[in-house]
Structure 1
Amino acid sequence: MKYNIAVCREDDERYPNELRNLKGMPSLLYYKGNIEIINQHKNIAAIGSRTLSEQGSKLAYRTGIKIAEEGFNLVNGLALGCDTLALKGALSVNGKCVVFLPCGLDRILPASNQKLAEEILEKGGCLLSEYPEKTAVQKYRYVERDRLQSGISQGVIVIEAEQNSGTMHTADFAMRQYKRLACYAYSLLQMSSGNQYLENTGKSTVLHDETGLAAFLDNIKQSQSYEQMKLPF
């Protein structure tokens, strides 16, 4: 890829403001592309499982479009399935995307999303990692990456996920980080035991349609960002 890897340290004004409020965040980030968009606009993570129902696929794409149209950066991990479709939706309306990888930025995972990663950069987005070049992916690094997806975002939306999927790590981090959390109603979807779990916690806004999504996004758009004491995770 033509974009060189750069480093952003915690004392740099471009370092993501949302991460400053949380303990256990990396003291530096490796990035490609335009890292400045992270603090210039609010960020919404749109996440879900790699295996989706037909309805989940449609919701992922439409959610990506709506997030971008409302002026948010779309955040996720470039995974197949939900992540990919949400990113493609955002990019279809020239939205800005922020992607965290669980490895060094000298490689793209999955490799099949190489062109998608390039389009993200070409349209003014950003790829990030807390790991230096040549860092290979390990299973635990996916979980570490998940805390950054929620940490950098003002809101997290679960499209469709089973309860045993990696998506639920990000949702759990969102709750522990006191992020606004939403999920689509499990009754709308086929592979949605994770959505059902989130509904049952009472800690997630339940989305039934695009009107509900618009209201969730508007609530975040209208809210003010306040400097907090660092939270212990």
Structure 2
Amino acid sequence: MTDFSHKRWKLEAVAFYALQTIKGVGFHTLNKLAKGGVRFHDLLFSTDVEYFQKTLGIVYADEDIKEPQDWVIIQNAYWAIGMEIASSIGKQGIGVIFNEQDAFPPQLRAIQNPPMWLFVQGNLNNLYKPSVAIVGSRKTSEDGLWLTKYIVSALADTDVVTVSGLAEGIDQKAHIESMRFDVPTVAILGTGIDSNYPKGSDKVRAEILQKGGTIVSEYLLKQSYSAENFVRRNRIQAGLANAVIPVEWKIKSGTAHTVKFTKDFGRHLLMPYLPKSINNKDELLSVQSFEKGKTFMIPQEGSALMDIIRNFKSDEFHLVDPKSVQQLPFDLD
């Protein structure tokens, strides 16, 4: 662990929650500060109000801070808000892991443009196990759904975790089949972790948690969706997993971003397809042109695909042993 103690990281989290409630302070501002090495707790309790405003890009009205004590009152009010948020989300088993903490997945720390924090709900240990990201179209066909079920069912009784994005279509199918076959699953969101998106996904999400799965997001609390958010989300799916399996996708699609990130990060890219497929030649060529890309006709080459996946080991990314990482207590006791 860094020079921050476990207690200090908790205080850092409270300050982080508080700062994101300030009008005009959003994801990009806090992300830039974190990349610059700014500690949120130190910033919140800076005695220099001018530095505070300049750093966050905000301006207080003159009447708000007439005396030094006025600034102290404002700081304490922010802190109280942060504590209230920490208590509320902590009761839901939600907390934040910062990039510098030992508990942060090391494979994500090493990617280009790594997340500076992750909100996590559920079983933290799933983030340290070998995993495959199963991704694909929201508009699915029966073939795509069948391939997803085939792949997930073959992961039963292995130590491999599935990763996907909770979106309608292939993503939700990957999560649902994972739970059916008792395969731990991780959902990476493109919104704040406290958002119900896509609408109606709350039941799937609740079942993921009940079955020992994990919900993850880098976005701020209450942050809504956007096209940019989902592209950024896709890099986390590719970065977290040993391999990405695009089941049903097109060269020009959201899944194509995940495929690109997979190549950028040097992960395995494994694409299953059915015999006599005629509509995915461009996608097959895209995968085959990548050094770590392989395509597999299913079911004829299914065993070859699964042999690759079953051979993934936790030490491929020099992952920490889940038993050595304390399950983070997200309460403030």
In which range does the TM-score fall when normalised by the shorter chain? 0.7 to 0.9
1:166 and 2:258 equivalent? no
Distance 1:79 1:190, change over 3 A: farther
What amino acid is aligned across from residue 16 of structure 1 in structure 2?
A: P
Note the alpha carbon deviations across 1:99-156, whole angstroms, 9 max, x for none.
1111111112212221111111111111111112111111100000000000011111
Note the alpha carbon deviations across 1:12-69, whole angstroms, 9 max, x for none.
2221121122231122111111122211x11110111112221211011221222343
What amino acid is aligned across from residue 90 of structure 1 in structure 2?
A: S
Aligned counterparts of 2:274 and 2:260: Cα–Cα separation in 1:
17
Aligned counterparts of 1:62 and 1:202: Cα–Cα separation in 2:
24
Query: Conserved in 2, the CA contact under 8 Å of 1:76 and 1:99?
Result: yes
1:97 positional shift: 0.8
What amino acid is aligned across from residue 102 of structure 2 in structure 1?
A: E
Partner of 2:124: 35
TM-score, length-scaled by structure 2 = 0.63
Partner of 1:21: 110
Unaligned runs of 5+ residues in structure 1 are: 228-233
Partner of 1:88: 176
Bigger share in helix: 2
1:145 and 2:237 equivalent? no
Query: Conserved in 2, the CA contact under 8 Å of 1:168 and 1:194?
Result: no
What amino acid is aligned across from residue 309 of structure 2 in structure 1?
A: L
Distance 1:46 1:188, change over 3 A: farther
Aligned counterparts of 1:120 and 1:190: Cα–Cα separation in 2:
35
Give the CA RMSD over aligned residues: 2.2
Query: Conserved in 2, the CA contact under 8 Å of 1:82 and 1:159?
Result: yes
What amino acid is aligned across from residue 310 of structure 2 in structure 1?
A: D
Aligned counterparts of 1:188 and 1:132: Cα–Cα separation in 2:
45
* 299, 303, 326: which one aligns with 1:211: 303
Q: Which has the larger radius of gyration?
A: 2
Query: % of aligned pairs identical?
Result: 27
* 187, 190, 195: which one aligns with 1:102: 190
1:40-119 superposed matches below 5 A? 41-119=129-207
Aligned counterparts of 1:19 and 1:222: Cα–Cα separation in 2:
14
> Could you list the runs of 4 or more consecutive aligned residues of structure 1 that deviate by over 6 angstroms after TM superposition?
none
Larger relative contact order (CA 8 Å, sep ≥ 6): 1
Query: Conserved in 1, the CA contact under 8 Å of 2:250 and 2:283?
Result: yes
What amino acid is aligned across from residue 187 of structure 2 in structure 1?
A: V
